[in-house]
Structure 1
């Protein structure tokens, strides 16, 4: 065990001391934030290019009611000019020409002519303008024909928007406000993170074993360390590297979010404390707090069983990594070249990929048969069970899933150890599954 610890220490310190590891660990949260925020920010930026659009209104219904926007100007043109532009649209002074036919109310069709592809924003803005104006005309006609006074106001008052809140009642009868959307987001994120880290760091174990085998360093190491001790130290050491990186990212993201909250709004903490202390005395403040979207989301996240989610995440993260990395380490020990490893890796990783494929159906129905059975199968449970935990899983299901996973980890490590002991010192032989199956029955 002491030798395994030395190998673990070497694998861990060698990787965390690399400049690439430190730089990547520091930059990844900002890269993810940039990837998420930058496209959204760019999409929200208004198109500020000024454009002139000609309008030929054959219906004669919109001339006095059509308004320009800040950067888009509309010019109503006569029929003769429109016909001329149709013949030679490239020479016109307009970015595009809108043709409104006489029967637009019945056909709901209009045309936007241009010598280039019209932008989505321009098309959408013109379409919305036409829809709103025609809708106004139809409403006015219905009101005139009905003879009912204040019909438009009555129709507007009849429109109803329902805000459906979900309330979770525990075994003690206590009601806690919950959110299906928050549970869905937390479960999906947790499952995807486990998939990503298990895949990345499991492949890292395989490549590390292959490098030692191809360089013949392993022959020197095996002379003083048992193969199973070497495999155990390597797997756990690399697993701790991944866990260190994950914990650092979680802490860093928490500090960034907390720092932004207080730097952008220094009085927020004090106001929140005051509102919480005054809540009981003045029930009206409860409605005011509900209207604050940020505080409401924080409150909903706090209503989740955070200790259970974090504990389950840690268990399934480590369990999934130990199971898959041991199998990937065995693959690395069995082959000599990267091409051979890819062939043997596919059957190992198919269950992990399948768990991502069914992630969205499980999120939509976390209590269905698909969700239940895949959260029990050990090759998919690390991802699928983490999707179900935020929704609330019966304790017996969670314990059964964990027990099956623990037993499977023991079995896969035993299988991987048998393959590792034989394959790590075997060179120049192309290995297939039939050959690997024989290794399981060798007496070492």
Structure 2
């Protein structure tokens, strides 16, 4: 057991001191601080964002009505009497941000042309379009004799409530909150597996290419060595995540945010966090074993990426199905896929977070996941021990068979 702690400690300290780890952590912390203060930074650099729009009104009264509709700090309207060509030239010269020409069609209803040097910024044009549409609605209603009260009734939304009949079903508000939380945790799980799974494979391949493995494998049991590296890298990743969380927490707190409410921790049931932790750890261990085994089969660090690509694609597939499942958690496809061990950590957690899942389904998916993980550890340890002694060009299936044969010798 002492050798396990030795391997784990060596992996943890080596990765923690690595220049790439320190630089990545520092840059990510700066990014988190920047995102937490994005509004302040934006205001400091952008200055006056008000769009100054000149208006040529070819009608008696549309400008005054539009001015009431477009009443915000983002747009300033100024009525001008210039000719249209002169006004367009003023826009090109930068005197105005845009030019709006108001007129009426054959039915006496408003129509407008908006001119600007570029129309890439949709905010100004969309706000002006909304104002002109409101004017058109008001004028059309007055032409057919509708009062303001009748118009309000016409556009009043239909009362439409969603009521779940199941006893333990979540309300619409609870579903929206749960969906946001599940989405964030799925992203975290996805990034965690991809980022640190690749780190495990690279760590194994690096030691193998330096021939250190030939010494280690003769003195440390393969299971101890395998899990020493997996847990060592897991501790590195948790350390990095803790630093990110602490920096983000401090940055949000400094901006006056109620952090726990911002993260959804104030209303989320503890059971959801328990399931999140359980599936997070099991999913990480499942994929970590695969990454470590594949890393042991390559002879050069350059070959790591092609070797682990199939596993990464599997993680991506699970994540993509989960994104579909956020809106259709009870879809037969999502339900069926949640029992596939490699998809279970994301999909079963998704279902538990959004709908009421029978206890036997949770137990079955958990049993399948644990059984698959035990089988991978059993086979993986044999492949790992033989694989670290193999050099040359990689052929995954052929090398796995040869690695197991080497273990038996």
Pairwise TM-score range, normalised by the shorter structure: 0.7 to 0.9
Please say which structure displays the higher CA radius of gyration.
Answer: 1
Work out which of the residue numbers 134, 153, 157 in structure 1 matches 2:149.
153
Is the 1:205–1:329 Cα contact (8 Å) retained in structure 2?
Answer: yes
RMSD: 4.0
| 2:184 matched residue in structure 1 | 189
**1:206 Cα shift?**
0.7
- What does residue 126 of structure 2 align with? 124
Asked whether the 8 Å contact 1:98–1:112 carries over to 2, the reply is yes
CA 1:211/1:39 → structure 2, altered by over 3 Å: closer, same or farther?
A: farther
* Aligned match of 1:210: 205
For 1:229 and 1:301, the matched residues in 2 are separated by 37
Unaligned runs of 5+ in 2: none
Alignment of 1:365-380 (within 5 A): 365-380=328-343
Quick check: 1:347 aligned with 2:349?
no
TM-score by length of 1: 0.75
Alignment partners' CA distance in 1, 2:350 and 2:33: 23
Aligned counterpart, 1:32: 32
- Paired with 1:125 and 1:185, the residues of 2 have a C-alpha distance of 29
For residues 31-430 of structure 1, the aligned pairs below 5 Å read 31-32=31-32, 34-35=34-35, 38=38, 42=42, 47-49=48-50, 51-57=52-58, 59-67=59-67, 72-77=76-81, 81-82=83-84, 90=92, 94-103=96-105, 109-117=111-119, 119-143=121-145, 151-157=147-153, 159-160=156-157, 162=159, 164=161, 179-246=174-241, 304-306=268-270, 308-391=271-354, 392-427=356-391, 429-430=392-393
Structure 1 pair 156–402 and aligned structure 2 pair: CA distance change class (3 A): same
1:3-49 Cα shifts (integer Å, max 9, x gaps): 22221222234434668757866874663363366279849x88535
The unaligned stretches of length 5 or more in structure 1 are 266-293
The offset of 1:199, in angstroms, is: 1.3
**CA offsets, 1:377-426, max 9 Å, x none?**
11111122222222232211111111111111112222322222222122
Counterpart Cα distance in 2 of 1:93 and 1:298: 42
2:295–2:307 contact (8 Å) kept in structure 1: no
Q: Which residue of 2 aligns with 1:290?
A: none
Equivalent residue pairs, number: 400
Q: Which moved more, 1:181-190 or 1:154-163?
A: 154-163
SS in 1 for 2:114: strand
TM-score (norm 2): 0.81
